[in-house]
Amino acid sequence: MKSLRLFSASCSLALFSITASAQSVEPKNTVITSDGPAVMVSNDKQTETTITFKDHVVATGTNMKLTCDFLEVVVNRSGDPSATIGKLDKFRSMLATGNVFFLLGDREAACGRAQILPGEEKVVLSEHPVVVDHDQNTRFAGETITLYSGKRRVEVDKPILTAPPVKDLGVDKEIKPAPATPPPADTPKKS
Domains of the chain with CATH codes: 2-162 (2.60.450.10)
Q: What is the pLDDT of residue 4?
A: 42
pLDDT in tens, 171-190: 776 766 777 777 667 656 66
pLDDT in tens, 93-102: 999 999 999 9
Instruction: Say whether pTM exceeds 0.85.
Output: no
The Cα-based distances of 130 to 72, 102, 114, 150, 165 in angstroms read: 21, 10, 11, 19, 19
Please tell me the distance from the alpha carbon of residue 109 to that of residue 129, in angstroms, as a whole number. 7
Higher pLDDT, 9 or 69: 69
The residue-averaged pLDDT of 69-87 equals 75
- CA 129, chain centre distance (Å): 9
